[in-house]
């Protein structure tokens, strides 16, 4: 399978996990696939499967400079691996936000926008969630 097709499939699969978080946060399927971390771990395994044949040990030196990283990401397979890295971690954080918010009885009206921000902007969603939870629920801890 070519990296472009795999990109489309993995994006769609990841989005399905996010939709479960947003529309069915208490459903058993969401608990088993997303909150358990299974979905993110599957993405992590796919990341590894993409990375191993397309990344050489000597490529680690490229991470010492922006130019080196840019060179690495010119390879579509390495770029795809980087993208799957984002998908796995962002969904993991989105699930953590959902679990943490449920434990705090945080209103969904605050939670879902933070999860959307996490999907789109990663750390920004986490930052906004932590800031909102601390303000709205000062006795809690994220």
The per-residue pLDDT for range 70-94, each reduced to its tens digit, is 988 899 999 999 999 999 999 999 9
The per-residue pLDDT for range 96-132, each reduced to its tens digit, is 999 999 988 888 999 999 999 999 999 999 999 999 8
In a domain, 119, yes or no: no
Q: Would you list the DSSP string of 33-75?
A: IIITSHHHHHHHHHHHHHHHHH--GGGGGGGGSHHHHHHHTTS
Domain count, the chain: 1
In a domain, 48, yes or no: yes
In a domain, 66, yes or no: yes
In a domain, 92, yes or no: yes
In a domain, 127, yes or no: no
In a domain, 61, yes or no: yes
In a domain, 68, yes or no: yes
Prediction pTM value? 0.90
In a domain, 123, yes or no: no
- Other beta carbons within 10 angstroms of residue 37's beta carbon come to 16
Q: Which domain holds residue 80?
A: 3-104
């Amino acid at each position: 399978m070519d990296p472009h097709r795999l990109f489309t499939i993995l994006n769609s699969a990841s989005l399905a996990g996010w939709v479960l978080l947003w529309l069915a946060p208490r459903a058993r399927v969401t608990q088993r696939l997303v909150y358990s971390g299974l979905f993110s771990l599957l993405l992590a395994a796919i990341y590894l499967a993409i990375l191993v044949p397309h990344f050489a040990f000597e490529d680690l030196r490229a991470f010492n400079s922006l130019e080196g990283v840019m060179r690495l990401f010119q390879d579509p397979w390495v770029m795809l691996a980087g993208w799957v890295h984002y998908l796995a971690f962002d969904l993991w954080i989105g699930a953590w936000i959902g679990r943490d918010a449920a434990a705090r009885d945080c209103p969904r009206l605050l939670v879902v926008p933070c999860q959307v921000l996490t999907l789109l902007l990663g750390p920004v969603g986490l930052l906004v969630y932590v800031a909102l939870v601390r303000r709205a629920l000062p006795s809690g801890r994220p």
